[in-house]
Amino acid sequence: MNQYLQHYIGGEWVDSTGTETKIVLNPANEEPVSEVVLGTDADVDKAVAAAKAAFPAFAETSKEERLALLGRIQEAYAKRIPDVARAISQEMGCPISTASTAQSGAGMAHIGSTMEALKGFEFSQSTGANKVLYEAAGVVALITPWNWPMNQIVAKVAPALAAGNCVILKPSEQTPGSAHIFAEILDAAGVPAGVFNLVQGDGPGVGTALAKHPGIDMISFTGSTRAGIQVAKNAADTVKRVHQELGGKSPFIVLPGTPLDLALPAGAGGMLLNSGQSCIAPTRFLIHKDQYEEAIEKLSAIFSGKAVDDPAKEGDHIGPVVNAGQYEKIQGLIQQGIDEGARVATGGPGRPAGKDKGYYVQPTVLRDVTNDMTPAREEIFGPVLVVIAYDDVDQAVEIANDTPYGLGAYIAGDPATASKVARRIRAGSVFVNSGGLDFNSPFGGYKQSGNGREFGKFGLEEFMEKKALIGQVPEDAPPAEMI
DSSP label of 392? S
- Among 94, 173, 279, 378, which one carries the catalytic annotation? 279
Closest Cα to residue 192, out of 299, 313, 66, 296?
66
Which positions ≥6 away from 17 have C-beta within 8 Å? 40, 42, 43
Catalytic: 454?
Answer: no
For 459, how many CA atoms within 13 A lie in the half-sphere containing its CB?
32
Q: Between vectors from CA 450 to CA 445 and to CA 455, what angle results, nearest 5°?
A: 60
Helix axes 415-422, 393-401, angle to 10 degrees: 40
The whole-angstrom separation of Cα 143 and Cα 261 is 40
| Sign of the dihedral through C-alpha 91, 94, 99, 105 | negative
Look at strands 241-245 and 250-254 and give their pairing.
unpaired
Strand intervals (E) in 46-159: 124-126, 131-136, 139-143
Q: How far apart are alpha carbons 193 and 203 in whole angstroms?
A: 25
How distant is the alpha carbon of residue 410 from its chain centre? 18
DSSP string, 434-464: T----TTS-B--EETTEES-BSHHHHHHHTE
Among the listed residues 91, 245, 379, 454, the single catalytic one is: 245
Active-site residue flag, 75: no
Nearest to 450 by CA among 139, 145, 215: 145
Phi first, then psi: give them for residue 117, nearest 5 degrees. -65, -40
Say how many CA atoms lie within 13 Å of 100 toward its Cβ. Answer: 11
DSSP state of 477: P
State the amino acid at position 313 in one-letter form: K
CA gap 318, 276 in Å, rounded: 9
Give Cα 363 distance to the centre of its chain. 22
Q: Which amino acid is at 192?
A: P
Could you tell me if 366 and 386 are in contact, meaning their C-beta atoms sit under 8 angstroms apart? yes
- Separation between Cα atoms, residue 38 and residue 355, nearest integer Å: 32
Could you give the residue ranges of the DSSP H alpha helices within 316-414? 324-339, 374-377, 393-401
Amino acid in the structure at residue 23: I
Q: Which residues contact 204 (CB under 8 A, 6 or more apart)?
A: none
Q: Which positions are annotated as active-site residues?
A: 245, 279
